[in-house]
Amino acid sequence: MTNAELVQLRIRVIALENLMIAVLAEGSDRQLEVAREMADYISPRPGFTQHPLTIQAADHMTDLVDRAVHFRTVPAQ
pLDDT at 51: 86
- CA 36 to CA 50: how far, in whole Å? 19
pLDDT at 43: 80
For 63, other C-beta atoms within 10 Å of its C-beta total 13
- For residue 65, count CB atoms less than 10 angstroms from its CB and return exposed for 0-12, middle for 13-18, buried for 19 or more: buried
pLDDT tens for each residue of 31-73: 999 999 999 888 877 787 788 898 999 999 999 999 999 988 7
pLDDT at 6 over 90: yes
pLDDT at 76 over 90: no
